[in-house]
Structure 1
Amino acid sequence: MNYMHNLTKFPFTVNYIIILLVTAIIALILTPIMVFVSRRIGAVDNPNARRINLKPMPSAGGVAIFLAFSVITLFVLPRFVGLANHNRVNATYLNYIWPIILGGGIVAITGLIDDILEIGAKSKLLGQTLGACVIWFFSTSRFDNFKIPFGGPLLIFPTWLSFFATIFWILAITNALNLIDGLDGLASGVSIISLTTMGIVSYFFLGTSDIYLPVTIFVLVFAIGGFFPYNFPPAIIYLGDTGALFLGFMISVLSLQGLKNATAVAIVTPMLILGVPLTDTVVAMIRRKLNGGSIAVADRMHLHHRLLSLGLTPHAAVLVIYGIAGIFSFIALILNVSSRWGGIFLLIFSLIGLEVMIELVGVLGKDRTPLLHIIKFVGNSDYRQEVKKKGKM
């Protein structure tokens, strides 16, 4: 106790750096323990037609991240953060964080049960929804309004719409991150990139002196960082649904704090930061509908599958997707310092570039390349004549 008291005498920045390092060390120690525990409890990812791994892999690595994050935010940060916060007069950090830990814990336990028993999609969705309800009822992370981008009106949601919008946002982001968890280090690396960008945006661009959000985000980043060396290819342990669902849930909840700013940039920024999982999920739903199937039926046409089919190694495919996530994050940062028209043009060209990438990689499926056809029609006179002839026939 005297040691903790002495620490409070240091500047908050020094204390916080120590806390971040301790967070990473806890995850670094817990992860190899979870390799052993995962095998003992049956949380093992066995090879099958949809998975990349060729041997059984322990898959409850997310427990290490959850425990490191929870221990620090529940028992360490409340002693320090209040000293540096100037915006929450009637609230303590513990009041702020416990609903997030409780909701995240419910989702993590749901994922752990799935890692062990492989429960159905409805059961997993029930656990996620319960965690999302905890957030709406016991925290301030809510989707209360929506500003129509670039000069449009501010829409204030009634309570019932706020509830459904909040639950939908949390479920969408949670499952989007889970869907991209198909290669060693993919979901954990993308989470680090997205959360780091979110932390920078929350500290410098949200226009509030509230320090709770960036402080929490970077603790989560360092918890993932302690796990990451064991998960980067070639991995010795997977996040599993425990980790993928927990991280998706945390990203969705923390990003809701940014939506409170009620500006166009605040609405668009988290969508850009989460560009990789959101794009992959939306494109997957469109593709499955175009193919006449159910949007819930899994396939091997996700971005990482397509990169592998193009001949990239799993290691290279992961690095490519890191690069794409980095580009999205960079655009999100630039958007926060752009003028209105600069932001509009930035988003337009970003969407065009994204569509070209989707079509080049073939994520939508074979021969579904409308933008590339237009570009070819404009830039290739022979192809243009060929199309005109076909149109006359």
Structure 2
Amino acid sequence: MSLYIVGFLISLVASLCSVPFVKEIAVKFGIVDQPSNRKIHMKQMPRLGGLAIILGFFAGFLYISPTNPYLMPIILGACIIIVIGILDDKFTLSYKIKLAGQVAAAAIVVFSGLTVEFIYLPMLHRVELGMLEYIFTMLWIIGITNAVNLIDGLDGLASGVSTIALAAILFMAIINGQMFVATVTLLLMASTLGFLVFNFYPAKIFMGDTGSLFLGYFISIISILGFFKSFTLVSFIIPILILSIPIFDTYFAIIRRLLNKQKITAPDRSHLHHCLLQLGFSHRTTVLIIYGMGAFFGISAIIFSNTTLWVSFLIIGLILLLVHITAEFIGLIGQKRPLITMIKRLTSRS
């Protein structure tokens, strides 16, 4: 136990201490985020903060030195993600180049043998994926990597939501005795928490794509190792529940852009955090609300994994209903916003 406590502290302190140096490097080399109509911040901000998360994580990782048959391809894929993230923070790469890098990283992992060979679903039990295992695994890695990247829109949002998701994964990994997954998750939590001290509103530095892509990539990997490889009837649903905030935000963004006849990669101001801000919530309150949502989904996943089949169905049904109502009310689809309209009318009358 002392090994993991020390490893946690090493990652936490290394991340904390490296942020000022990373910030200085970002400013020196012009790796900064400029204000624009689509962005919330009103001043130039350094955006290489994810490098502090990476340094903190690997500091603790080297100390504990966990082993896994897929360790080298996972690390090699991470290196590609890190390079893509740094280059994008500096030069703002096109989505095609970023996607090519993510595909390369995912391919290295998949062709090393780390794939989702089957999934367990209620009623259907074990479903073999066959040749689809390669496509499914690559889509999962790329999808989660980009989902975390997309929610990085407010101070402390991506880092906080990721930490909450990691806490749920850590709890379940410990219960199931998955020590490699638990170790990686613990160190990611520590390094992200250290960075969050400087990133929470009002932020002094952004994690940038360097951080959000790195977190998304590793969360996708540990979810494969921790859930898809487990022999439970809910192995497919649990990671989706834990990662509901980035997954559903990405899902509604795709639907919204298709309905508006926009490119899927086109940016907009209708993400979850944008909609909450438009309702009148402050920057800090919006982030805390989304933290609460993330905690709700994480706790739901834990309850879901330890309950009967019919109760599991009830939980899923209630969550899907809640997600649908929330999306309609706050305008995640991007067409109708009845709650916003009602509030504006009441405000104008008063």
After TM superposition, the score normalised by the length of structure 1 is 0.83
| SS in structure 1 of the partner of residue 273 of structure 2 | helix
- Give 2:140's match in structure 1, choosing from 169, 175, 198: 169
- Give 2:336's match in structure 1, choosing from 367, 371, 374: 367
Q: Give yes or no for the alignment of 1:106 onto 2:93.
A: no
User: 2:33 is matched with which residue?
Assistant: 45
Measure, in 2, the Cα distance between the counterparts of 1:188 and 1:351: 25
Q: Give yes or no for the alignment of 1:150 onto 2:122.
A: yes
User: Which amino acid is 2:31 matched to?
Assistant: A
User: 1:379 is matched with which residue?
Assistant: none
Measure, in 2, the Cα distance between the counterparts of 1:367 and 1:61: 36
Q: Deviations over 1:110-129 (max 9, x none)?
A: 01100001110000011111
Q: Retained in 1: the 8 A contact 2:151–2:249? A: yes
Q: Deviations over 1:279-304 (max 9, x none)?
A: 00001111111122222211110000
| SS in structure 2 of the partner of residue 146 of structure 1 | strand
- Give 1:326's match in structure 2, choosing from 288, 292, 295: 295
Q: Retained in 2: the 8 A contact 1:141–1:254? A: no
User: Which amino acid is 1:61 matched to?
Assistant: G
- Give 2:151's match in structure 1, choosing from 176, 180, 187: 180
Q: Deviations over 1:68-121 (max 9, x none)?
A: 212322x2112xx5xxxxxxxxxxx16543332221121011011000011100
User: 1:194 is matched with which residue?
Assistant: 165
Query: Any residues of structure 2 matched to 1:332-371 within 5 Å, and which?
Result: 332-367=301-336
Measure, in 2, the Cα distance between the counterparts of 1:210 and 1:307: 37
Measure, in 1, the Cα distance between the counterparts of 2:178 and 2:283: 40
User: Which amino acid is 1:49 matched to?
Assistant: N
User: Which amino acid is 1:69 matched to?
Assistant: F
Q: CA deviation at 1:170?
A: 0.5
Q: CA deviation at 1:175?
A: 0.5
Measure, in 1, the Cα distance between the counterparts of 2:38 and 2:283: 14
Q: Give yes or no for the alignment of 1:67 onto 2:55.
A: yes
Q: Retained in 2: the 8 A contact 1:358–1:364? A: yes
Measure, in 1, the Cα distance between the counterparts of 2:148 and 2:178: 27
CA RMSD of superposed structures (Å):
1.5
Q: Retained in 2: the 8 A contact 1:144–1:157? A: yes
Q: Give yes or no for the alignment of 1:229 onto 2:197.
A: yes
Q: Retained in 2: the 8 A contact 1:188–1:224? A: yes
Q: Retained in 2: the 8 A contact 1:141–1:253? A: no
User: Which amino acid is 1:98 matched to?
Assistant: M
Measure, in 2, the Cα distance between the counterparts of 1:271 and 1:217: 17
User: Which amino acid is 1:178 matched to?
Assistant: N
User: Which amino acid is 1:165 matched to?
Assistant: F
Larger Rg: 1
Q: Deviations over 1:213-256 (max 9, x none)?
A: 11111111101111110000100000100001110111111101
Q: Give yes or no for the alignment of 1:216 onto 2:204.
A: no
Q: Deviations over 1:124-155 (max 9, x none)?
A: 011111111121133x53211122x2121422
Q: Retained in 2: the 8 A contact 1:58–1:238? A: yes
User: 2:221 is matched with which residue?
Assistant: 253
| SS in structure 2 of the partner of residue 264 of structure 1 | coil
| SS in structure 1 of the partner of residue 266 of structure 2 | coil
Pick closer, same or farther for the CA change 1:368–1:292 going to 2, 3 Å: farther
Task: Provide the aligned length of Structure 1 versus Structure 2.
Answer: 337
Q: CA deviation at 1:210?
A: 3.6
User: 1:296 is matched with which residue?
Assistant: 265
Query: Any residues of structure 2 matched to 1:282-293 within 5 Å, and which?
Result: 282-293=251-262
- Give 2:63's match in structure 1, choosing from 71, 76, 93: 76
Q: Deviations over 1:297-334 (max 9, x none)?
A: 11110000011111111111101110111111110011
User: Which amino acid is 1:50 matched to?
Assistant: R
Measure, in 2, the Cα distance between the counterparts of 1:275 and 1:166: 18
User: Which amino acid is 1:18 matched to?
Assistant: V
Measure, in 1, the Cα distance between the counterparts of 2:107 and 2:54: 19
Q: Deviations over 1:332-375 (max 9, x none)?
A: 01101110001001110111111111111111123377xxxxxx
User: Which amino acid is 1:123 matched to?
Assistant: I
Q: Retained in 1: the 8 A contact 2:277–2:286? A: yes
User: 1:375 is matched with which residue?
Assistant: none
Measure, in 1, the Cα distance between the counterparts of 2:125 and 2:159: 37
Structure 1: tracts of 5 or more residues without a match: 1-12, 82-92, 370-393
Q: CA deviation at 1:164?
A: 1.2
Measure, in 1, the Cα distance between the counterparts of 2:330 and 2:296: 17
| SS in structure 2 of the partner of residue 266 of structure 1 | coil
| SS in structure 1 of the partner of residue 127 of structure 2 | strand
User: Following superposition, which runs of at least 4 residues in structure 1 exceed 4 angstroms of deviation?
Assistant: none
Q: Percent identity?
A: 36
Measure, in 2, the Cα distance between the counterparts of 1:155 and 1:346: 22
After TM superposition, the score normalised by the length of structure 2 is 0.93
Measure, in 2, the Cα distance between the counterparts of 1:221 and 1:109: 22
